[in-house]
Structure 1
Amino acid sequence: MQIEKTALKDCLLIKPTMFEDHRGLFLETYHRRRLAEFSGIDAEFVQDNQSMSHYGVLRGLHYQKGEFAQTKIVRVIHGKVLDVVVDLRPDSPSFKKTFSVILDDENLFQLYVPKGFGHGFVTLSKRSVFAYKCDHYYTPGSEAGIRYNDPDLDIDWNFPEDQMILSDKDKELPFLNDVF
């Protein structure tokens, strides 16, 4: 397992070591001690979530706030997505900066998303199955988000906006400057 820093403070890209032979493939998707040794962060994950999305579905940019903020490790089990995070921690040197990466069922990369980050993705394949490992239980009253097309973030979703499929809730999320 190779762990790399991204341009955003505390956000990590995890590249698995894959063992392939005539039978198929094996990889380790999570190793708490290695992650802690590399990053100094030792999260205790308590909930795993999974979503399925069709081509063009954009989910995000979501986060949980306050005491219910979540650290996540996200990955694609099937398909391909453009995964995007934004640092929403006002005291961070990477505050309001974004990072994006292709996660798919071929590279099997994972993204470590710290508390205080907004997160979203758009499905670039016919269908995607997306997994989230969270260090805090989902709490509906603490959910929040930032609009996916916020002009101050200027995110290139690598997908035509007029073809994106969004929930009504995601279409109405506030802009960054209305929250921070």
Structure 2
Amino acid sequence: MRFTATEIAGVVVVELEPRSDERGAFARLHCPDEFAAAGHPFVPAQTSLSRNPHLGTLRGMHYQPDPYGEVKLVRCVRGRIFDVAVDLRPDSPTHRRWTAAELSAETGRALLVPEGVAHGFLTLEPDCDVLYQISPLYQPGREAGVRWDDPTFAIAWPAQPQVISPRDAAYADYRAG
């Protein structure tokens, strides 16, 4: 795997290094030793799948505040998404900044999202499946979010969302806490 830092500390693009032959290809999606050697120790406790049948589906911007913070490794395993991370860590030099990566089944690229960073995505085509590896275990009732179109962040989404949950659409404006 190749690890490429983004402008936000701890948010990393993870590229596959597939091995190919006449049978097709094989690639490692996660290896705790490789992540640790790259300075990003991550051992998932849970794996989840998000199915998104419609083009323009927006999920996010989600996070779990301390002490329930999560690290997520997000990968699109079918289709193509615009994946976004927003730094909500008040002491971070990139507080309130965002970064994004296009993730697709074709590239296998993933985004590692650390604790204190909100995450969301917009589907760029119909029928997208998004795989999440998460650590620690999700704590129901501890989730939080920020609005996808909050002017504080000014995320440059590539298209207007067509499908969004009432909860995600109704998050309040961000207030650093």
Which bin holds the TM-score, normalised by the shorter protein? Answer: over 0.9
1:65 counterpart letter in structure 2: P
Q: Could you report, residue by residue, the CA deviation over 1:132-168 in whole angstroms, capped at 9, with x for unpaired residues?
A: 000111112210000000112111110124xx21001
1:75, CA displacement in angstroms?
0.2
Alignment of 1:143-154 (within 5 A): 143-154=143-154
Secondary structure class of the residue paired with 1:142: coil
Identity within the alignment, %: 32
Cα distance per residue 1:39-92 (max 9 Å; x no partner): 1x3233110010111211100000011211100101011000000000111111
Q: Distance in 2 between matches of 1:104 and 1:9?
A: 23
Q: Does 1:175 pair with 2:173?
A: yes
Q: Is residue 159 of structure 2 the alignment partner of residue 159 of structure 1?
A: yes
* 8 Å CA contact retained: 2:147, 2:173: yes
In the alignment, is residue 31 of structure 1 matched against residue 31 of structure 2?
A: yes
Conserved? CA contact 2:3–2:13, under 8 Å: yes
Tell me the number of residue pairs that the alignment of Structure 1 and Structure 2 aligns: 176
- Equivalences for 1:54-65 in 2 at 5 Å? 54-65=54-65
Alignment of 1:1-180 (within 5 A): 1-39=1-39, 41-53=40-52, 54-161=54-161, 164-177=162-175, 179-180=176-177
In 1, Cα distance between equivalents of 2:43 and 2:15: 20
Q: CA deviation at 1:93?
A: 1.1
> Which stretch shows the higher mean deviation, 138-147 or 112-121?
138-147
Give, in whole Å, the separation in 1 of the partners of 2:78 and 2:21: 20
State TM-score, norm by structure 1.
0.93
Q: 3-state DSSP class of the match of 2:33?
A: helix
Secondary structure of residue in 2 paired with 1:120: strand
User: Residue 106 of structure 1: CA displacement?
Assistant: 1.1
Q: Which has the higher helix share?
A: 1
Superposition RMSD on alpha carbons, in Å?
A: 1.2
C-alpha separation between the residues in 1 aligned to 2:164 and 2:64?
19
- The answer as to whether partners of 2:35 and 2:42 remain within 8 angstroms in 1 is no
Q: Which runs of 5+ in 2 are unaligned?
A: none
What TM-score does the superposition give when structure 2 sets the normalisation length?
A: 0.95
Q: Which runs of 4+ in 1 moved over 3 A?
A: none
How far apart are 1:21 and its partner, in Å? Answer: 2.9
Q: In structure 2, how many angstroms separate the alpha carbons of the residues matched to 1:64 and 1:138?
A: 9
Q: What SS does the aligned partner of 2:70 have?
A: coil
The gaps in structure 1 that reach 5 residues or longer are none
